[in-house]
């Protein structure tokens, strides 16, 4: 978050007047990396008409194998799906069994248990799939599993609307472990459960002090998530309430005002000392910066991109929502699983779909060389928990 005064002026001209708050960015000399990414943010990429910045489109092309035209079409379709989902859910009534976005058709699919609800759902433009178990039944089964104590070999569990089951993820090397097998048996007794093998156990993505464009608390480096009025949100495992926070240049930013981990993995930092907040997700000089215009939740199957201080921009798809992740420090609930990679130091960083904030990076497995999966804590949950207002353009 480094900018010279001249760069602030040029960026401000590209933004809607009044989009900048009076707390947040570091004053002082700018780095070459910041200058690169500021120059990459051309006014044409930050207009109200643009569905996404050039950088976001570039990252989607790179990570999802899309042409620019298909990336733009997908973003437009995902925006429609976000609007349709709530209406279709109400139309389905008690027979609602979940929904997901299908990249192959660019349409939202809604699962129902009663065929009589199909026409009402289709009226909103969604496809319909008839299934056996309602969302309420699946959520209840997951909640019962949440009440169990999971061994380390169980990496998490979530409701999969496409499978119409609760999926329990088990680390492949621990499938035969007696404690894991006992947990799976107890999980299966709660309702419709299927077991899936995963290559690695999830871990958080905090890191010791290294270079980059981070914020620091003690000797831990993490990444800023999203600006809120008065500060920014990030991951809870990055620091406890009251802990002092410094910026990329080691100048004081402020303090953690609230933090929760495990159980949750979210926190917020109040900023001052000459810093201010902006409604922008950084592109790190390799892609354009992206304006944040809201926080509408993307459905399963939608594209999502992540920005972090170690591995910078990467994109993938939403794989699951409301997942319980079993870290070695304890379980974290209501997480969103994605196919986006991440690495140590990316913790707390931004997940964004189009121009809609999604959540802050929590942890995952793998890396951005060999691939992997990453979870984020939904941003709306953080805003509601602390009574914060997202800073939007």
Do residues 34 and 158 both lie within one domain? no
Active-site residue, selected from the candidate residues 339, 347, 350, 362: 347
Q: Bridge partners of 348?
A: none
Clarify whether 146 is annotated catalytic: no
Q: Compute the CA torsion angle 201, 205, 210, 215 (nearest 10 deg).
A: -170
pTM above 0.85, yes or no: no
Do residues 236 and 360 both lie within one domain? yes
Do residues 346 and 383 both lie within one domain? yes
Clarify whether 312 is annotated catalytic: no
Do residues 341 and 252 both lie within one domain? yes
Active-site residue, selected from the candidate residues 213, 264, 265, 289: 265
Is residue 40 one of the residues assigned to a domain? yes
Is residue 89 one of the residues assigned to a domain? no
Buried b (16+ CB within 10 A) or exposed e, 306-326: bbbbbbbbbbbbbbbbbbbbb
Burial of 185 (0-12, 13-18, 19+ CB in 10 A): exposed
What is the extent of the structural domain holding 66?
1-80+205-393
CATH of the domain at 251: 2.40.10.10
Do residues 233 and 327 both lie within one domain? yes
- CA atoms of 327 and 363, how far apart (whole Å): 9
Is residue 152 one of the residues assigned to a domain? yes
Clarify whether 176 is annotated catalytic: no
- CA atoms of 316 and 368, how far apart (whole Å): 12
Q: What is the largest CA-CA distance in the chain?
A: 64
Q: Which of 145, 177, 201 is the last residue of a domain?
A: 201
Active-site residue, selected from the candidate residues 133, 237, 312, 391: 237
- How confident is the prediction along the chain (393 residues), in pLDDT tens digits per residue? 333 333 222 222 222 222 212 222 232 323 333 333 333 333 333 334 455 677 778 888 989 999 999 999 999 999 999 999 999 999 999 999 999 999 999 999 999 999 999 999 999 999 999 999 999 999 999 999 999 999 999 999 999 999 999 999 999 999 999 999 999 999 999 999 999 999 998 887 654 332 236 899 988 999 999 999 999 999 999 999 999 999 878 888 999 999 999 999 999 999 888 888 888 888 776 667 788 999 999 999 999 999 999 999 999 999 999 999 999 999 999 999 999 999 999 999 999 998 999 999 999 999 999 999 999 999 999 999 999 999 998
Do residues 229 and 349 both lie within one domain? yes
Do residues 273 and 150 both lie within one domain? no
Burial of 162 (0-12, 13-18, 19+ CB in 10 A): middle
In the chain, how many domains are there? Answer: 2
């Amino acid at each position: 978050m480094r900018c010279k005064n001249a760069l602030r002026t040029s960026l401000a001209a590209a933004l809607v007047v009044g989009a900048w708050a009076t707390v947040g960015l570091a004053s002082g000399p700018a780095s070459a990396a910041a200058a690169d990414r500021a120059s990459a943010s051309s006014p044409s990429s930050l207009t109200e008409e643009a569905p996404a910045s050039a950088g976001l489109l570039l990252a989607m092309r790179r990570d999802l194998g899309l042409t620019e035209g298909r990336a733009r079409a997908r973003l437009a379709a995902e925006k429609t799906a976000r609007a349709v989902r709530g209406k279709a859910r109400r139309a389905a009534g008690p027979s609602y069994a979940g929904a997901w976005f299908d990249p192959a058709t660019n349409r939202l699919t809604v699962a129902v248990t009663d065929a009589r609800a199909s026409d009402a759902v289709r009226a909103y433009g969604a496809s319909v799939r008839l299934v056996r178990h309602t969302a309420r039944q699946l959520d209840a089964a997951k909640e019962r599993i949440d009440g169990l104590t999971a061994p380390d070999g169980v990496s998490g569990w979530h409701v999969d609307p496409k499978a119409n089951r609760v999926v329990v993820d088990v680390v492949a090397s621990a499938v035969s472990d007696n404690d894991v097998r006992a947990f799976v048996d107890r999980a299966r007794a709660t309702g419709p459960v299927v077991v899936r093998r995963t290559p690695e156990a999830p871990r958080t993505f905090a890191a010791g002090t290294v270079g980059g464009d981070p914020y620091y608390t003690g000797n831990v480096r993490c990444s800023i998530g999203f600006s809120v009025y008065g500060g920014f949100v990030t991951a809870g495992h990055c620091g406890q309430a009251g802990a002092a926070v410094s910026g990329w240049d080691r100048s004081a930013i402020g303090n953690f005002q609230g933090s929760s981990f495990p159980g949750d993995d979210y926190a917020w930092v109040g900023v001052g000392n000459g810093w201010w907040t902006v409604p922008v997700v950084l592109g790190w000089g390799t892609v354009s910066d992206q304006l944040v215009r809201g926080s509408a939740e993307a459905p399963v199957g939608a594209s999502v991109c992540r920005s972090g201080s170690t591995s910078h921009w990467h994109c993938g798809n939403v794989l699951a929502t409301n997942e319980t992740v079993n870290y070695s420090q304890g379980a974290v609930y209501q997480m969103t699983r994605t196919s986006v990679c991440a690495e140590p130091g990316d913790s707390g960083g931004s997940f964004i779909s189009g121009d809609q904030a999604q959540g802050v990076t929590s942890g995952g497995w793998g890396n951005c060389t060999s691939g992997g999966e990453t979870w984020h804590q939904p941003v709306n949950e953080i805003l509601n928990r602390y009574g914060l207002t997202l800073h939007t353009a």
